Amino acid sequence: MQKSILVSICVSLLLIFGAFWFAGRQGGVDSTDAVSIVGGKQLIDISAKGGYSPRVVIAKAGMPTVLRVATRGTFDCSASLVIPKLSYQKFLSPTGTEEIPISPEQAQGTMQGLCSMGMYNFQIKFQ
């Protein structure tokens, strides 16, 4: 009986540490590399596969913006994108780029995107 308890504890610890490792590998570092300005429009590029990358983007507030979400063989939960602030909800194509317009009025504060299960997420911080 004690051996089965010890095995259960070891498996539980492996699962817990594995979850922390998996969550941490997507990085939480603020990124401005995903932002470019072309023709007076701000472009924000995020990839969706096994989560969203980058997870935090710093962008300019109050300017016309296009969020471009790229998928490449994405068949997981991150293909089901929800952006509450935009009332946006869509199943993304497994491969391609979805362009989501964001008006200057909407490009304020922090905007969160997440999968439909809430397991994966990203933030755009408009400053």
Tens-place pLDDT, residues 13-48:
455 655 544 444 444 456 778 999 999 999 999 999
Closest CA to 52 of 87, 92, 18, 17: 92
* CA–CA dist 22, 93 (Å, integer): 24
**Range 76-85 average pLDDT:** 97
Whole-structure pTM value: 0.76
Tokens for 35?
């932002």
pLDDT one-digit tens code per residue, 81-115: 999 999 999 999 999 999 999 999 999 999 999 99
CB contact at 8 A, 68 and 43: yes
Note the Cα 115 to chain centre separation in Å.
8
For residue 70, pLDDT over 60 is answered with yes
CB contact at 8 A, 87 and 111: no
For residue 127, what pLDDT band results from cuts at 50, 70 and 90? Answer: very high
Residue, of 32 and 55, whose pLDDT is higher: 55
Peptide bond before residue 104 is cis, with ω within 30 degrees of 0: no
Tokens for 61?
């507030």
Count of beta carbons in the 10 Å neighbourhood of residue 51: 20
Q: Which domains, ranges and CATH numbers included, belong to the chain? A: 28-126 (2.60.40.420)
